Each structure stands twice: as structure tokens, then as C-alpha cells.
Structure 1
Amino acid sequence: MFKPSLTLIALAVSAPSLANDAPKDMERIIVSGSRVIESIDEVPASITVISRKQIEDHLKVNPELQSLLAQMVPGLAPDTGSSSNTGQSLRGRAPLVMIDGVPQSTPLRNGSLGVKTIDPSALARIEVIKGATSVYGNGASGGIINYITKQATAHDTHQGQVSLSSRFSAVKLEESTGARISGAINGKVENFDYLVTASYEENGVQRDAEGDILGLQYGLSDAETQNYFTKLGYDFDQEKRLQFSYNYFSSQQKTDLADVPGDINEGVKTYAIHVPEALQKRGKPQGPDGNENITLKYTDSNIFANSEMTLDVYTQDIENVFFFSPNLANPDEGYEGGQSIIRSEKRGARATFNTNVDFDGVEATFIYGIDALKDTTSQPLVDGRVWVPEMEMDSLAGFLQTKWVINDDIIVKAGVRRESIDLSVDDYETLKLCRSETQCSVPLQVKGDTIDYDATTYNIAIKYNWSDSFSPFFNYSQGSDIADIGRLLRAATVDDIGLIQTEASIIDNYEVGFSSLFDQVRLEVAAYRSTSELGTTNSFNEATGVYEPVRAPQEIWGYEGLVDYRISKTLNVVATYSYVEGKNTEADVYLGSRQISPPKATANVNWKPSDTLSLTVSYLYVGDRKRFSPNADGDYIGDQGPISSYNIVNISGQYQFADNWNAFMGVENLFNSDYYPARAQSYTYGGYNIKGLGTTATLGVTYSF
């Protein structure tokens, strides 16, 4: 294993495996995507596990989880270079983001900010389970991204760490220097253990390859981010444990800049400049405004014969503030624009049981339980107007998942989940919104109602660990998704919520793949196909200027591959490739980039010449995707802009100069490539045409005690 390396994007590529970055340790890697701990070689599906060391490597260069995930997870769309993960789909569909199994996404009104909910310094690992899954219910049509937080590791003592770093533009230093401090301490005294982490960061301005400040829409320039996480545990005995955890996260852009708008159709970038206060970006600072999670968990590893029980209750309060937009204008009422907030309150409880039974030559595991969730979500505007009315969802689900290990080498999984959802919305009126004097939506009075959803989803999979050199698997899984109801409600074209096409979508996901392990080489290959009778895409209505949902059948397909070649004890090379494509099968047209990302390849070389020094060089390639034609005016619309390929090279290194001290450095975009990220090329919506980060350096030091 190589020592922590410090590339911004390299780390992400340093081991973007479908499973793990150490082939000889694969059998010791565990995942909890199925809600219980299990060996990864008993999971018949594509999984990426990002280890704590890899997270720490990346953190020392860039604290953005979005860039870490984009580079390490084949099948996940490229990094957007911003605080928003809109357009960053997983295998063409939306993933459900969780912290220790507690949902962070807001699927009732998906603002695509779920990835940025906790600081990486609080994480032990990240598990990404790909493909639709019913294990956690609504919102996991593309799979799940589960942030697993740290546990106390010190025994009868206390341990801690403090890290200081600075990040700055190497193209133009002026105003670009930022600072970050993070710390952690943990310990255990008799039966009580604790963990506390804290981080605070202030960014300078971020500059592109030409030295200009990046545009502000979902921007990270002048962002102030803070995270406080604590976990307290008490072991009643070796079998019973009570655990409390709390997470506070805030990340807001507080700046005196304003955008100089460009036009992606004209090839003109959006960038930011200093302006007088009257011209600065209006409204509240954009970003998560003090989001909180509280979880109380009780476990009994021997509740009855061969059975383990986990009970947890959780609460979550989210307030994500969006940028001021002139598209939310209504001149008739004196509004020149508006700024929206997604508010979401979740209150949930779960009971999970795990029973193991040994038959003659067969080890059987039964995972079963009940999930209950109350989710209240809305999207008002800061000025008091209601864009998306309050939606109250009550969900109750029961599930059974089984695993059968036959003769130690054949693994069969099968399961079912039954979910009942009631969604209530009161009477409301859609907003009149104007993009111009002649392009306005028409307000509509909509009668509220309670809509009932009942969905039963199934899964079955098999894996045959025939030998180290060939372990094939097949996986069929279903997921249920009631889609982005808030987007449907705010663009309602009928006067009764019962007439809006809000039916739940059932996603059928098929996957086949294999892994091969030889003396120095590991191969992993997977191909997949997913279908749904109802999708969630958008069509631009030129008369009203509103993007309206189109719920048409979809088919998405793709493949991924990885080669991990350990040349020597000190030198390792990892390369990946992923491809995804999809269509609206009713109209036989390709899906836009909100769902479908361009091909992506990564490669990195890790060199560890000594115990105290390590170096990493990484390469990212994002390919072309040009599936659409311009309109009669020669412009592309929506998310259909053509994507041209680009390449990024990064370098990083770390040196341990004393027992408790490490110094590190990293350089992103080493050759100062001048490019637009994939989303910036394809999104024609105003403000997204922002170039990628130019050469940016990080320097820092870590002290452990």
C-alpha cells in the first residue's frame, strides 16, 4: 500500500476500483450496503469502497467530496467543479447519498447538493453500491453513496491529529490563497468511547487557466465551510451498545464578486469580477446553511439465537440556499428575480435483524426489518413566495434479504421490499415566473390531495468464486423512485394534483461482470442495463420559458473496467474506463447530460521509494459526447450541448520528516489545461458555462499525537 499522497484529482484516481485498491486484501474488505457487514467477495454486484487512507490523501489537497467520488468511482459522472452535483449521475440515474445509512439527499425536491454534507475528515470510508436498489427505499434509482463515519480507535487512552494547509492558484496568486484547519480526538475510558472532529476552511478566489475568477453559480470562491461531528458510545457488555452521533455542516459563499455572464452557445465563458456593493450578487449566501443530523443507535449482537438487532432513530434538518436568479422574476409584482431554499425535515426509525443459520454445506443469512420515515420538504423563495408547496411524505416499509453461501464458493442473494408511501400536498397556486416581458408562465390554482404509492421490489443475484483468476456474477435488482415530485408540482399544467403524472417509477437493473486476480494484476469488468417505464427528464417550453418534466420510458446501458498492475513493492499502476449511454425509448432520442455523462478514463502511477516519501502522478480523460443538433437559431438548448474531450494531469507527494509530522503538497491541473468541465459544456442554462480550475497548488502539514 502506498503512503498518503496528495494530488487533488490523483487520489481520486489512485484506486478507482470497482471494489478495493489492494488485491491481496480483498477478502478482508467489508461493506454495509446490504445493511449488514459482509465480505466483499460475497457481494454479487459492482462496489467501490474508498478507504480512509484514500480519503485522507485527497483531503490533504482538496476537501471536496464531489471531486473525490468523481475520480474514484467508475460510472459516476465527472466532477462539476462546483458545490452542486447536478448532472453527476451514477450510471445515468440519481444516487441516494447517506451518512451511516441516514439519507442526505432530498428526493422529493432534489437540489443536487446531497454529496456535500459532511467533511471528509470525519469519514472512515465511503461505500458506493451501483445500480437501482430497494434496500434503502425511495431515491436510490442509481445506487447508494454511503459515508461511513469514524469510530474511536484509542483504547484506555486518547489520540488526536491536527492538520493545517493552504491552497492557492499557481496561475495568478492574487486573492487566491485559502486556509484550512481540521482536528480530531478520540479515546476510550472503560465502557465509554468518544470521537470529535472539527474542520474550518476559508477559500480564496478560484481562478481558471487564464487567471480569471470562476463564475459564482454554485461557486467555491470565497466559500466558508465548517463541520462539527461527534460520536459517543457506551458498551453495556460485549453484545449491547448504545451510540449517539451528531453532525453539523455549513458551507456558504460570502463574496463581494459578481458574474460577467457569458454564453456557451457563443463559446463565451462566465467569470467573476469585483463590483460595487449595489451590483454584487444579491440575496443570502448560497450553500448549506447549518444542516444538522442526529442519530441514536442501539445494537444487540445476540438478541436471540444467532441473531443481531440494530434499532436506530434519526432526525435531520436541511436548509440549502440557492443563488439569486433573474428567471424567478415577476415584474407585475415587483420581483426582478428570486432566490429559493430547499427545506427538508426527516424523522425516521429503523429496526434491522440479521439471523445466521448453518445448514448442511450451506450458510444462510436472513436480513429483515421495518423502516419508517416522515419527510417534510418544500422550496419557498427568500422573498416569501412559494415555489414548491410543502410536501409531507409518510413511508412504511418491510423488507427481507437473504444470502446463501453454498460450498464456500457459490453465493446466491434474493430479497423483497414492500413499501407504502402517503404523500400529502395542500391546495396551492403555481408561480408566475418571467424570463422576459413576453415569456412568462401562467399561474394555476391546483387542488391538493393525498397520493398513495405501494411498491414491491425484488432482487436476485449469484456469484461464483470459481478461482482467483475468474469470479463471475449476475445481478438483477429493482428500485422504486417517486422522482422529483417538487419539480412536477411547480411546473403543474393541470388543476388537480391527482392529475399530475406523479406515479412511482420502478427501475429494473441488470448487471453481469467478473473479477480476476493474478500474481500482480487484478482485472474487474462489469456491464449493465437499466430500464424504467417512467423517467425524469425535462423539455424546454419556449412559450413559457419553463423546463417541464417529461416522464417517458427510459433505457440506460453501459460498461466499466479496471486494471490494477502492481509492478513492484514500490510501484503500482491503476487504470479504469467507464461508458454509459441512454435513450428515451418512446421518442427514440438520446437522454441529455443531466443523466448521461461522457466516457471517462483514469490512470495513475503511485511510487513509494521509501517509508517516508511517496509520489503520485495521475491522469483524467473525459471523452466526447455529441448526440444532439442545434435548433433553428443554431443554438443548443437544455442539457444537450456538445461535449468535447479534455485531459487533466496532477502530481502530489508527501514526506514524513519526523515521527509525528508529515508535510504534503499537491498540484491540480499540472499543465494548466484550459477547458470547460463536461457539465459546463452541455448545460445551456444561464451561468453554468464556467471554465475548469487552472493550476492550483496545496501545501500543508499534519501533526499526530
Structure 2
Amino acid sequence: MKFTVSRASLWVSLSLVSGSALAVTDLPADMERIVVSGSRVVESIDEVPASVTVITKQDIQEHLKVTPELQSLLAMYVPGMGPDTGSSSNTGQTLRGRAPLVMIDGVPQSTPLRNGSLGVKTLDPSAIERIEVIKGATSIFGNGAAGGIINYITRTPRSDDGVEGDVSVSSRFSAVQPDESAGHRLEAAVNGRTQNWHYLLTASYEENGVQRDAEGDILGLQYGLSDAITQNYFAKLGYDFDADKQLQVSYNFYRSQQKTDLGDTFNGNKDLAVHVPPAEQKAGEPQGPDGNTNLMVKYTDLNIFSNTQLTLDYYDQSIENVFFFSPSLANPEGGYSGGQSVIKSEKEGLRATFNSQLSFDNIEATFIYGLDALNDVTSQPLVDGRVWVPEMDMNNVAGFVQSKWVYHEDLIIKAGVRRESISLEVDNYDTLRLCRQENQCSVPVAVTGGELDYDATTYNVAVKYQLNPAFHPFISYSQGADISDTGRLLRSATVTDIADIRTEASIIDNYEIGFTSQMSEAVRLEVAAYRSTSELGTSTRFDPTTGVYLPVRAPQEIWGYESIINYRVSPTLDLSATYSYVEGKDTQEDVYLGGRTVNPPKATLIANWRPTDTANLTLEYLYVGSRDRFNADENGAYSTDQAPVSSYNVVNVSGNYAFSSQWQGFLGVQNLLNEDYFPARAQAYTYGGYRVKGLGTTVNVGVTYQF
């Protein structure tokens, strides 16, 4: 199957834009405002062809005093990112209503072929230098970026000569009911340079106690964090051949699994965990990433030929994400009372990126071009040996050209094109017989496999005019080609030939308009509105006959707006406030999209106060609004992800004090006011096991030593 964008689309796109850069925290004046992932080379953040949020190292460190969960960090600092789910899964936490592609240094961590929504939790924040979030459909990094890109940029060696490092020890516990809640965390890093070599080593180890809500009850275990053990080891080694040429190798190991002796129960209002006899404890293997690894090799030549830089990236990745034991995966006839699935993904990729710069009269031109090659083999078997999603072997080759034209330093025009060629092979397979109840079972189907071919040409164009410091308007048009979550379509097949399954890819068109304004030295304002359409989005419908949640392919339209204001009240006090709104519809049926896709309105306020050179205090406020778009049935029940969401508020506070140049103590409190609430996903989802409350007041205290 093939799909292309007409030539007329290119001419339409030439009249449209992009180019906003939403930076939550002002960077120091002496720090260059740069991002890497926007157009795959280092450039000014003000010239990136999409709305961008940069979460700085300082932001990460301040939030890390409250919680090490990256979901919480992204929800607080990124407009358009859905609220924290309070669990290890980011299902339901979309970016502008679509799934983002999560990366580490440009290497994909998500598993688009079978999106298990576990990509956000793939690296410990202590190993991260900054986070770049590029919003809106993009084809710059290929499949899976329907909602944009979340790129974790890892730490780099700081020491000019010799060795430096830090060690941190901390403990988190519930202030509502401390019993069994105390956990401990150890993180360490060392880096250095010697002659032409530079290196970085980071390690973190954390054991959680039980997680308790505002009433002191232990949170339900589905995607839970109670008794979770998390390990992350990251290493980076580089060698400078000369001033222009560098080779860098990095390796990351990440494991985060829940090992608990608790059991789940439902008290009529919420899912919670309780102490039970061994026979009633959480069944199956520990859930979570089971030793995911990344090997990344980068070679850079700043002058491969005249005015041109070359970057070669090779990566090899292995992912094994274990899910919870579910009775919905039962088959009494086969002797199975339930089942536990594992998403396995092996990726190997090579990217060659050239960056050429030319100058004309009053014009500076940049051309970024190259080739991407990727092999992705993904499947979702069950731990007991049954095959739920057959092995999908994808080969993807793409060529691209991106250009940037800067005229008189005022007018910025960007335009690009990417040609994607994808082949996906699947062997013959049988769908599983799954029973929610003994008389509610799916019917197995023998499916003939084969090869699916996808070809796509996508375009992006952006214009930004720096009229004056108080008004920088922009407008953009960008496209993305998406074949994500094919595995869900395959496992729910009701036809006998893979060619008859609705696995068609979708072109996503993203339109955006807005402005940035440096209203004064102290105040910066940014506003953006967007609209996103897709030919074939994927939602979910429950089939009461078989008890299976079936995918629904239908055109979708998503729209919304965001705003952010940064205000430097004084040299010691900074304020940042954001607001984001997103809505979406299935345009074929003219019905709203559910909570799995569309998040409720969200507002945040962050205040950072530095009363002295040795002390710092940060206050974070999160407001999640209400959303009620669907009607209950005659029994008062809602379907799938369509239950109403009521608003709630969460306040966090953190602070640190430097006792000396080497020793620092810190304290963080999550949910300071002990708000008793269900996160947005827990309210919207009607699936079993998701009715889990948010974390109650939780305290984190620790000390850091630097050398």
C-alpha cells in the first residue's frame, strides 16, 4: 500500500510557517540558547521550526528534589503535555493529543510498532543534561512522532582537566502514613578529561516503599510504583582526533520493576493494594522495563568539506517491557486463568547528517540533508509462551533535506522534505482466544502474513519575522507519516489475510500560528494555537460480545492553544506560568475523542526564590481542569475512556541549602496540601485496575556531596 502527498500540498505549505521556541525557564545570559533535536544540528532555539520547550538542568534538579518521575516533570514544565498519571505508564498522557516519540540523544526509546506507552520512563533524570520537547507532527526522525519529540539530552563532561563528580543520598516517605513507605535512593556521577579523552559515568539505584494516597491507603498495583526497584547505569567515552573530528561512544542500561508481596483490591471507590496471603499476591513476573539497553556511537567531522559538517550516528537498542498480569488474557479451555505480556523490540539504526552553510548578500543559508536507515523488530508475546502480537520486522530508509534562510537577521524561512520508504514483514500467525468471562471470548483467526509497503513524502515550511523585540510572529505547516501501533491492529484481526487488515499509514498535517514577545527585560510572553488532522487515527471501542477492546480507524481533528509567561520579578525571584487547552474529534462520526487521546485543560505556576547565595526555594502548582464530553448509558456507565474528569490541584515545594562548597542538603514535598484526588486518566478510564488515586503528601530528604 502506498500513499503520497500531492505536489499541490507543497505549494500550499510554502505560504505557511513555524518557528516558536517555548522555553519554560530563562537561561542565564551567558549560556547560548541552543537545541539539537529540532533540525538535527545545533542551532539557536529561536530558529527551530516548531514550538519547543527546553527543560534545563536546573529545572530537572529542582524537580528531582520532589520526585524522580519524569512523567511528573514533563507534566509540570511542558505546555500541551498531559497531566502526570501517577504510575510507570504514560498511556493517556499525550502531547497535544497525540503520542510523542521519546528519544535519548536522538535514539528512539518508544516502540511505535506496538506502543505500550512506557517510553517516558526510560532513563533516570540524574543522567540528563536537559530535555527538548518539540511539539506537533514531524517527520524529522521518522515513524512514531505523531505528537512531536521528547529528546533526553544526556550529561556531558564538565571538567576541563582532571576529575569531578557528585554523590547524592536521599529517602522518600509518606507524611500521611509513614509505615512501610520509606524508600532510599543513591545516585553518583564522575566525569573528566585527560589530553584528547573525555568520559562520563553516572549510576543511580532506588528502592521505593509503598506509595500511599491522601487517606493513607496503598495505591493500586497496576503500573504501580510501590516496592519498585530502579537501576540506571550510563557511560559516555569520547576521543578528539583533532579540533574538527570526534568519536563518542555511550551505553545506557535501565531497569525498573515492581517486586511486591501485595495484592490488588477494589473498595467500591478506588483500586488499592493490601497485604494478602501468598496465593492472592500480585501474580506473574515483576512488571516494568527488564534491563533495556542502548549502545550509541557518534562520529563528527566539523569540516568534512568546504563549509560542511558531517555527523554519523549508529545505535543498537534492546527493549523488554513487562506488563502486569491480567485476567482479561485468560483462556479457560487452554488452562490459562490470565496472562502477562511483554513488548520486545530490537532496533538497529544508522544516520548520516550533513550540514552545509552558505552566505549571500544579506542572506545566510543552511542546508541539512542526509539518510536514515532503521531495522525495528518488535513483538508482544505472553510470558506463558502464547503469541499475542506476532513479530513485525520493519526496514525503514529515508532521505531528507531541510533548509533555513535568514534574511537581514529578521526574516527566517524554513522548508524541508523527507521521503520515507518502509517495508513491514509479518509471518503467518493465529490471533489468541481471549476470555474476559467464560461466556465472553474472542474467536481465533488464522491470518496469512506477508509484506506491507509504505511510501510517503512529507513537507514542512516555517516563517518567522522578528519585527521588534516585543513581537515575533510565526506561522508553520508540518507533516508526519505515521504507521504506529500496527501491533494492536494485528492482534485484533478479524480477517484471514494481513492485506485486509486496516493497517494503512496516515499523513498527519499540523498547522500552527503564534508569536513570542520580549515585553521587557523582565517579561517574556509566548502564545501558540494549533490544528492537527490525520487521515486515519486510532481509537478504541469495546466489543461486549467478545470482551475485546477493538481498534477504530477513523479521521481525526485535534486543536488547541498554549501560552507561557516568564517574569523575573527581581534578581532573586523568577515566576513562570503556563496554560494549555486541547480538544479533538472523530470527524467521521462527529464525536469527541476520549481521555486516552485528549487531556483536560492544564495550568502551572512555578516560582523560584534564591534568598541567599546558599539557599534556594521552588514552589510548583499544577491545576488540571474538568472535561465532560460523553453521556452515560441507561445503567449510568461510561464506555472505555469516556468518563468525566473533575478538576484538581497539586502543590509541590522543594528547597536546598549549601553548607559548604561541597556539601548541600535538600528537602522536597510532593502534594504539600495532601489533595485527595484521582488523576485525569484514573477518572476518564473505565478499564479495570486504573481507578487509582494520586499520591498523598510525600516527603523527600537528602544530601549531596560534590568533589
Shorter-chain TM-score category?
A: over 0.9
Query: Equivalent residues in 2 for 1:204-603 (5 A)?
Result: 204-261=209-266, 268-517=269-518, 518-603=520-605
2:567–2:575 contact (8 Å) kept in structure 1: yes
Q: Cα distance, 1:304 vs. partner?
A: 0.2
SS of 1:421's partner is: strand
Cα distance, 1:608 vs. partner?
Answer: 1.2
Give the residue type in structure 2 aligned to 1:351: A
Q: Deviations over 1:126-181 (max 9, x none)?
A: 00000000100100000000011111111220000000000000000000000000
**Which residue matches 1:29?**
33
Question: Shift of the alpha carbon at 1:61?
Answer: 2.3
* Cα distance in 2 between the residues matched to 1:153 and 1:614: 23
CA deviation string 1:85-104 (max 9, x = no partner): 00110000000000010000
CA distance change for structure 1 residues 303 and 23 in 2, over 3 Å: closer, same or farther? closer
Mean CA deviation greater in 620-629 or 22-31: 22-31
Quote the residue 2:11 is aligned against: none
Distance 1:180 1:682, change over 3 A: same
The answer for the alignment partner of 1:651 in structure 2 is 653
Q: How far 1:51 sits from its partner (Å)?
A: 0.7
1:150 alignment partner in structure 2: 155
Which of 121, 130, 136 aligns to 1:131? It is: 136
Give per-residue Cα distances to partners, 1:545-594, cap 9 Å, x unaligned. 11111110000000001121211111222211000000000000000011
Give the whole-Å Cα distance in 2 for the aligned partners of 1:115 and 1:510. 25
d(CA) in 2 for partners of 1:193 and 1:607? 35
Distance 2:27 2:251 in 1: 35
Amino acid at match of 1:506: I
| Correspondence list, 1:611-626, <5 A | 611-626=613-628
Report the counterpart of residue 696 of structure 2 in structure 1. Answer: 694
Residue 26 of structure 1 contacts residue 40 of structure 1 at CA under 8 Å; is this kept in 2? no
1:634 positional shift: 1.3
Could you say which residue in structure 2 is the equivalent of 1:684?
686
SS at the partner of 2:67? coil
In structure 1, the partner of 2:609 is 607
By how many angstroms is 1:604 displaced?
Answer: 2.5
Whether 1:19 aligns to 2:23 is yes
Answer whether contact 1:376 1:390 (CA < 8 A) is retained: yes
**Pairing of 1:43-82 with structure 2 (within 5 A):** 43-82=48-87
Instruction: Give the equivalent residue in structure 1 for 2:3.
Output: none
Q: Which runs of 5+ in 1 are unaligned?
A: 1-16
Cα distance change, pair 662–166 in 1 and its aligned pair in 2 (3 A): same
Is contact 2:24-2:77 (8 Å) kept?
Answer: no
* One-letter amino acid of the counterpart of residue 376, structure 1: V
Conserved? CA contact 1:26–1:41, under 8 Å: no
Q: How far off is 1:56 after superposition? A: 1.5
1:392–1:425 CA contact under 8 A, matched in 2:
yes
Contact 1:27 1:39 in 2 (8 A): no
Tell me whether 1:176 sits opposite 2:181 in the alignment. yes
CA change 1:25–1:595 in 2 (3 A) is farther
Secondary structure, aligned partner of 2:41: coil
Following the alignment from structure 1 to structure 2, what is the Cα–Cα distance between the partners of residues 540 and 26?
Answer: 55
Q: Which residue of 1 aligns with 2:10?
A: none
One-letter amino acid of the counterpart of residue 33, structure 2: I
Structure 1 counterpart SS, 2:659: strand
Q: How far apart are 1:412 and its partner, in Å?
A: 0.4
Offset at residue 287 of structure 1 (A): 0.2
RMSD: 1.1
Q: Which segment drifts farther, 612-621 or 395-404?
A: 612-621
* Paired residue secondary structure (1:535): strand
Q: Answer whether contact 1:27 1:40 (CA < 8 A) is retained.
A: no
Counterpart of 2:471 in structure 1: which amino acid? F
Q: Return the TM-score normalized by structure 2.
A: 0.96
The one-letter amino acid of 2:532's match is S
Q: Which amino acid aligns with 1:401?
A: Q
2: distance between equivalents of 1:157 and 1:606? 33
Partner of 1:299: helix, strand, or coil? Answer: strand
Matching residue's letter, 1:238: A
Q: Which residue of 1 aligns with 2:166?
A: 161
Q: CA separation in 2, counterparts of 1:58 and 1:564?
A: 18
Percent identity over paired residues: 68
Distance 1:243 1:154, change over 3 A: same
CA distance in 1 between partners of 2:575 and 2:248 (Å): 40
Structure 2 counterpart SS, 1:53? helix
CA-CA distance at 1:20 after TM superposition: 4.2
Letter in 2 for 1:18: L
**SS of equivalent residue, structure 2 residue 74:** helix
* Equivalent position amino acid for 1:295 in 2: M
Amino acid paired to 2:615 = L
Per-residue CA distance 1:215-267 (angstroms, 9 max, x = gap): 0000000000000000000000000011100000000000000001356xxxx
Q: Deviations over 1:522-555 (max 9, x none)?
A: 1110000000110011111111111111110000
CA contact (8 A) 1:307 1:354 kept: yes
How many residue pairs match? The answer is 685
Q: How far is 1:409 from its partner? A: 1.1
How far did 1:288 drift?
Answer: 0.1
**What corresponds to 1:10 in structure 2?**
none
In structure 1, how many angstroms separate the alpha carbons of the residues matched to 2:416 and 2:624?
A: 37
- Runs of 4 or more consecutive aligned structure 1 residues displaced over 6 Å after TM superposition: none
Report how far residue 403 of structure 1 moved.
0.4
Offset at residue 24 of structure 1 (A): 6.9
Candidates 81, 90, 94, aligned match of 1:89: 94
Shift of 1:659: 1.2
Distance 1:320 1:85 in 2: 13
What whole-Å deviation, never above 9, does each CA across 1:257-315 have from its counterpart, x for those lacking one?
0001356xxxx100001111111111110000000000111110000000000111110
Helix, strand or coil at the partner of 1:70: helix
What amino acid is the match of 2:475? F
Query: 2:284 & 2:119 partners in 1: Cα distance?
Result: 22
Aligned to 2:123: 118
Q: Tell me the TM-score normalized by structure 1.
A: 0.96
3-state SS of 1:487 partner: helix
Q: CA deviation at 1:519?
A: 2.7
Q: 1:670 to 1:20 in 2, by over 3 A?
A: closer
Contact 2:528–2:561, Cα closer than 8 Å, also in 1: yes
- Judged with a 3 Å threshold, the aligned counterparts in structure 2 of structure 1 residues 565 and 26 are, in CA distance, closer, same or farther, namely farther
Counterpart-to-counterpart distance in 2, 1:587 and 1:324: 35
Pairwise CA distance, 1:23: 6.7
Inter-partner Cα distance in structure 1 for 2:382 and 2:27 = 51
Separation (CA, whole Å) in 2 of partners of 1:512 and 1:606: 30
Report the equivalent of 1:41. Answer: 46
Counterpart AA for 2:216 = G
Query: Would you say the 8 A contact 2:24–2:566 is kept in 1?
Result: no
1:605–1:155 Cα change, 3 Å: closer
Mapped to 2, the partners of 1:314 and 1:332 lie a distance apart of 44
Query: Which residue type is aligned with residue 486 of structure 2?
Result: I
Aligned partners of 2:533 and 2:668: how far apart in 1? 41
